[in-house]
DNA sequence: CTGGGGAAGGGGCCC
DNA sequence: AGGGCCCCTTCCCCA
């Protein structure tokens, strides 16, 4: 069943996008998806056009996919993108629940906790460390340099951001420039569209090493891995019962933990 | 009712 | 400085 209820419609009537600075932006297909790279000049759909300039959407169709497959790569595939090598399932054994316990958790990322001797740039305000000056500068701009903080307000909603980049990214959630030609769903970012495309292709590159299941989404695999663990990640403070997902814990708490489970 | 899967949104960090 | 990717989280559906 389509989950269009979760997808903001691209043709909202009260949208009046006119962000000229975003006009020239193109949406790229990430290289790790099809092992090719393409820059796609786009033709806005009539129903989302206004008399003002508009943020051009990506329109997916089979012809586009063909273009992607035949396009000359414009840059090398990112080494930090282990994801998709053809349609070969990925071995995510490193994402076992044990690793999750010792590694990243739902806690906010803590640069200091992963600090190495190379992280020699320290924030005087909060003592966090960064390996590069650029990293420290961005941190200070976002969090610890209040006198330099600026407010970039979204014209579509009440949200404010401390950087133009953050605002631009947020605005995409309003303009939804990435449109699936197959079903018409619109997404804010190319990789969200990529994930969506997998629902059409059936591609599931993330496989569980404990069973034969495979997943289209890494996070879903991570959640699945919890089901193989006796002691799950999310624990009720009242009854100590553990759950594989935070949502299940929340549901457990909301329905009233009796403390005796 | 509960647990798990599918799909998607969005913030933060790294390059 | 900005794009890409990772990760967490949420929501809904279904068995």
Residues 38-97 of A with CB under 7 A from strand B: 80
User: Is residue A93 predicted with pLDDT exceeding 70?
Assistant: no
Query: Parallel, antiparallel, or unpaired: how do β-strands A90-91 and A58-59 relate?
Result: unpaired
pLDDT band of residue A121 (cuts 50, 70, 90) is: low
**CA–CA distances in Å: residue A190 to residues A65, A71, A169, A187, A238:** 14, 18, 12, 7, 42
Q: Please give the pLDDT value at position A198.
A: 87
Residue with tokens 């619109």: A186
pLDDT band of residue A191 (cuts 50, 70, 90) is: confident
On strand C, nucleotides with any atom < 7 Å from a protein CB are 1-14
Q: Distance in angstroms, CA of A120 to C1' of C14?
A: 51
Q: Distance in angstroms, CA of A8 to C1' of C10?
A: 15
pTM for this model (two decimals): 0.54
pLDDT tens for residues A105-120?
333 333 333 333 345 6
Q: Distance in angstroms, CA of A156 to C1' of B12?
A: 23
Nearest to A49 by CA among A40, A57, A58: A57
């Amino acid at each position: 069943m389509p989950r269009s209820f979760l997808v903001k419609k691209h043709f909202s009537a009260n949208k009046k996008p006119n962000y000229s600075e975003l006009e020239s932006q193109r949406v790229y297909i990430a290289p790790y998806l099809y092992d090719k790279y393409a820059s796609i000049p786009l033709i806005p759909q009539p129903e989302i056009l206004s008399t003002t300039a508009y943020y051009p959407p990506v329109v997916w169709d089979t012809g586009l996919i063909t273009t992607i497959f035949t396009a000359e790569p414009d840059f090398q595939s990112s080494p930090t993108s282990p994801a998709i090598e053809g349609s070969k399932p990925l071995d995510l054994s490193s994402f076992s629940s044990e690793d999750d316990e010792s590694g990243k958790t739902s806690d906010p990322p803590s640069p200091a906790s992963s600090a190495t001797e190379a992280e020699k740039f320290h924030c005087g305000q909060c003592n966090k460390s960064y390996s590069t000056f650029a990293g420290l500068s961005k941190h200070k701009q976002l969090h610890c340099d209040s006198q330099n903080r600026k407010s970039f307000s979204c014209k579509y909603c009440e949200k404010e951001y401390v950087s133009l980049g953050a605002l631009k990214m947020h605005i995409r959630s309003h303009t939804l420039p990435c449109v699936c030609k197959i079903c018409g769903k619109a997404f804010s970012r190319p990789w969200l569209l990529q994930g969506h495309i997998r629902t059409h292709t059936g591609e599931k590159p993330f496989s569980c090493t404990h069973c034969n299941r495979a997943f289209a989404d890494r996070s879903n695999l991570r959640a699945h891995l919890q089901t193989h663990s006796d002691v799950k990640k999310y624990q009720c403070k009242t009854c100590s019962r553990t759950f594989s997902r935070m949502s299940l814990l929340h549901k457990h708490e909301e329905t009233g933990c009796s403390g005796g489970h």
